[in-house]
Amino acid sequence: MNIIDIIVKTKRKEKLSREEITWMIDSYVEGIIPDYQISAWLMAVCFNSLSEEETFYLTEAMRDSGDKLDLSGVDGVTVDKHSTGGIGDKTSLIIAPVCAACGLRVPKMSGRGLGFTGGTIDKLESIEGFRVNVDFEDYINIINKNGAAIIAQSGHLVPADKKLYALRDVTGTVDSIPLICSSIMSKKLATGADCILLDVKTGSGAFMKTAEDAQKLAELMVKVGKSCNKKCCAVITDMNEPLGNAVGNSLEVIEACEILSGRQKDRLYDLCMILSANMLELGGFGNYDSCLEMAKEKIENGQALEKLADMIEAQGGNRNTVYDSSLFAQPQYSLEIKSDSDGFISQINSEEIGMSALMTGAGRKSKEDTIDFTAGIVLNRHVGDAVKKGDVLMTLYSSTVTDLSFAGERALNAVCIQSEKVTVGNVLINTIK
């Protein structure tokens, strides 16, 4: 086979065979095909897309490019969840213990954050002693004992995606739905869960800016999952403002504990109950409505919070952290951001809030950067809320940035205030099964 022929076929909108796609991916991973030729093919995909069949073949080839996890040692049905990312998205920290308390097995391999997006692994590392690097045998044992484990991605899983994503990032070829689908689904399929729930975000703080694009991506990912004999479901959810109140690592863990304790019930709580119910339904625990009630009950009776404590303890952290937020490192500096007018909040630009949090030290601008786990932003107001001039909209925190005024100015500019109250839409936009 010849990579030039493959590039030309995609350029001419001619379909590639499974053999051609598999050969191309294997040859690229082995270093036979150079970056510049794969870059040309990726650009052709961005212009002309891929058929559903070609996307299936690409996902399979990427999945099979490295190791695949065998979760047969887990006692029970396993369900994994993937979110396409968003500002303040700490749902994994909430739904894993909720579902585990119901008897579901939740094996979760998560990533670190880069830029304004937060990583679940970074959040968990804000808990002193918490081990994100766990060998496979311990991983299985923790899941069997506690129902859930969240660890860092490790081993030789999907090397094709690592190479392709790095190339897409520097060649302007990230925004292709088939390429996004194959990147996400190859990793989810390689990690071995029986069922997959996909949380596809849309809005200002999401990669999919429109509900239409989110719908296309969600539908395609569900089809790919089912083509590989996985039970799969997707929910399309709103990310037009940060999710919850906290943006930042320890701040988000503390907020997750507030949700699990039953003290905070808002859009974040609603979303986590929706996700938990869908995961339980995929796992065969009943219909959606009964699973929703089951998830809520585990928060009300305290079992979900106890499960998080168990998970933290099993991975080397102090279980008392979930009950006492003072056990986290405390920020040294803070700055209140106040409203400069009366009115109603009509918009909070999630991406700008994320960039402001990055300026406090809560994220990485490059992979080598060190995160300040105490840094971030806590929002006091949300879209639809009435505010008066001088009201505190949010507070910025840091232990490394002494002058938070620049981050504060950017955060303030992310908030739009108008004279008339706006209607706040539902956090759930659609479900694809």
The model's pLDDT over 234-280, given as tens digits with 9 standing for 90+, comes to: 999 998 899 999 999 999 999 999 999 999 999 999 999 999 999 99
| Residue ranges of the chain that CATH labels 3.90.1170.30 | 331-418
Q: Can you tell me the mean pLDDT for 88-109?
A: 96
Q: Is the pLDDT of residue 114 over 70?
A: no
Tens of pLDDT, residues 322-361: 999 999 999 999 999 999 999 999 999 988 999 999 999 9
CATH code 1.20.970.10 region(s) in the chain: 3-48
**Which CATH number is correct for 79-322, 3.40.50.1390, 3.40.1030.10, 1.10.10.10, 3.30.470.20?**
3.40.1030.10
Q: What's the chain's average pLDDT?
A: 94
pLDDT in tens, 297-330: 999 999 999 999 999 999 999 999 999 999 999 9
For every residue of 229-285, DSSP letters joined together read T-EEEEEEEE-SS-SSSEESHHHHHHHHHHHHHTS--SHHHHHHHHHHHHHHHHTTS
Banded pLDDT at 155 (limits 50, 70, 90)? confident
Percent helix / strand / coil, the chain, rounded to 5: 45, 15, 35
Q: Whole-angstrom Cα distance, residue 81 to residue 196?
A: 6
Look at the domain 331-418 and name its fold. Aldehyde Oxidoreductase; domain 3 (3.90.1170)
Whether 63 is catalytic: no
- Given the residues 80, 161, 194, 372, the one annotated as active site: 161
Three-state secondary-structure class, residue 378: strand
Out of 168, 188, 296, 381, pick the active-site residue: 168
Tokens of 421: 């109250």
Is 168 an annotated catalytic residue?
yes
Q: How far is CA 273 from CA 127, 383, 396, in A?
A: 24, 21, 28
Asked about 161 being catalytic, the answer comes back as yes
Residues 414-424 pLDDT 10s = 999 999 999 89
What pLDDT is recorded for position 365? 75
| Structure confidence by residue, pLDDT tens digits, 23-35 | 999 999 999 999 9
Annotated active-site residue 12? The verdict is: no
Annotated catalytic, 183?
A: yes
Quick one: CATH architecture of 3-48? Up-down Bundle (1.20)
Q: Looking at residue 119, what is its pLDDT?
A: 84
Give the model's pLDDT for residue 170.
Answer: 86
Query: How does pLDDT run across 386-415, given as a tens digit for each residue?
Result: 999 999 999 999 999 999 999 999 999 999
